[in-house]
């Protein structure tokens, strides 16, 4: 049924030479391999961490910087797209219910067409943007913020441990982090999941993963949607 998926997760051997990019554990198991089509058909491998439940793609299968940028430029997400605004509102609505008016935030991973930052500014918030490829002004990462938004970005993290550690550093006490990314609960359904077809998606989370992150950083956590997680710093 699962083709390349291991017959039983209990029978998978530990791959001690692969460290989890989120929790650094060596207790990572081969989960499956899957062919995707990006310029040409090629196979990627996926591993599951026994500690934090992150599913990740080993570095050797990551796209080059040039190919990543070309892929992102295929996304037609703009502030003029009402459907995209509606999509982003799944994070915006619960976030603004928890933060003070005039709060200063950072939209992390704003992409080639920043939109969430504009939506927040339209209702009175002050929002900086950062994107490693499209808004690479690292000076904004030297400040602290009342809130951080990260929509459809966490799945692209090659080093999620470093990313979340940086969030901890630049978020003010009592501040909020809003993460939007599709999550999976059952690793055995992973092979047929649409979300792993995108060659730039290399880190996959579940509610267990998000709960591990919250515990690791001593954050409180709330799931407001199947794709939206709100963290609050202590």
Length of the chain: 234
Q: How confident is the model at residue 72 (pLDDT cuts 50, 70, 90)?
A: very high
Q: Are 153 and 106 in contact (CB under 8 A)?
A: no
With 0-12 CB in 10 A as exposed, 13-18 as middle and 19+ as buried, what is 175? buried
What pLDDT is recorded for position 17? 59
Report DSSP state, residue 112: S
User: pTM of the entire structure?
Assistant: 0.91
Domains by residue range for the chain, with CATH: 9-72 (2.20.25), 82-193+206-232 (3.40.50.150)
pLDDT 10s digits, 158-212 = 999 999 999 999 999 999 999 999 999 888 899 999 999 999 999 999 999 999 9
Q: Are 54 and 201 in contact (CB under 8 A)?
A: no
More confident residue, 6 or 74: 74
Question: What's the number of CA atoms in the CB half-sphere (13 Å) around residue 192?
Answer: 6
């Amino acid at each position: 049924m699962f083709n390349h998926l291991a017959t039983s997760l209990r029978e998978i051997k530990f791959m001690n030479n692969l460290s989890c990019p989120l929790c650094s554990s060596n207790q990572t198991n081969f989960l499956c391999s899957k062919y995707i089509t990006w310029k040409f058909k090629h196979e990627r491998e996926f591993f599951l961490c026994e500690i934090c439940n992150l599913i990740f793609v080993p570095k050797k299968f990551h796209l080059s910087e040039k190919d990543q940028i070309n892929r992102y430029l295929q996304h037609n997400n703009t502030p003029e797209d009402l459907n995209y605004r509606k999509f982003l509102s799944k994070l915006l609505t619960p976030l603004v219910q928890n933060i003070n008016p005039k709060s200063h935030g950072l939209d992390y991973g704003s992409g080639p067409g920043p939109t969430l930052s504009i939506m927040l500014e339209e209702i009175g918030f002050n929002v900086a943007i950062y994107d490693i490829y499209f808004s690479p002004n690292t000076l904004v990462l030297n400040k602290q913020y009342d809130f951080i938004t990260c929509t459809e970005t966490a799945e692209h993290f090659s080093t999620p441990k470093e990313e979340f550690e940086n969030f901890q550093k630049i978020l003010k006490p009592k501040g909020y982090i809003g993460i939007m990314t599709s999550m999976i609960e059952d690793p055995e359904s992973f092979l047929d999941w649409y979300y792993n077809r995108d060659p730039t998606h290399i880190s996959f989370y579940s509610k267990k993963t998000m709960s591990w992150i919250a515990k690791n950083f001593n954050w409180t956590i709330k799931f407001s949607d199947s794709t939206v997680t709100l963290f609050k710093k202590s």
